[in-house]
Amino acid sequence: ILEQRRRLHAGEQGAAEDYVTAKFHLVDLAGSERAKRTGAVGNRFKESVAINSGLLALGNVISALGDPSKRGSHVPYRESKLTRLLQDSLGGNSRTVMVACVSSADGDFEETLNTLKYAHRARNIKNK
């Protein structure tokens, strides 16, 4: 996370100071880890469970923000550290870019399709 703050010119002496804040988040979501496919055990398995729960929470936030029928309803930002961290980027006054890495291999078809669906839901988010 990179954050920059810039003070705006104060009109009168003693008046409240205004700041413009810029944040830059670069997050690698690591991908949906299938324990059966990767053969993860022990600590690796626990890490993949944490990754999947974070991605699920992010998916719930993306659905709540991107689905027109759910607009105005509760957005579950507090479900994970990831969604809390990205709250301003997803639902705030910001510009957000999502890069989805996909594979053309036959064995990765299902994961590639899920990644593209996930990215498409994120694309539907419209902020004010």
Phi, psi for residue 31 in degrees, rounded to 5: 90, 160
CA distances to 52, 112, 124 from 30, in Å: 9, 13, 22
Q: DSSP characters for 44-70?
A: HHHHHHHHHHHHHHHHHHHHHHH-GGG
Per the listing, tokens 């205004």 go with 18
Q: What is the pLDDT of residue 40?
A: 80
- List, for residues 52-108, the tens digit of each pLDDT value: 888 889 989 998 888 878 777 888 999 998 899 888 888 887 888 888 889 999 988
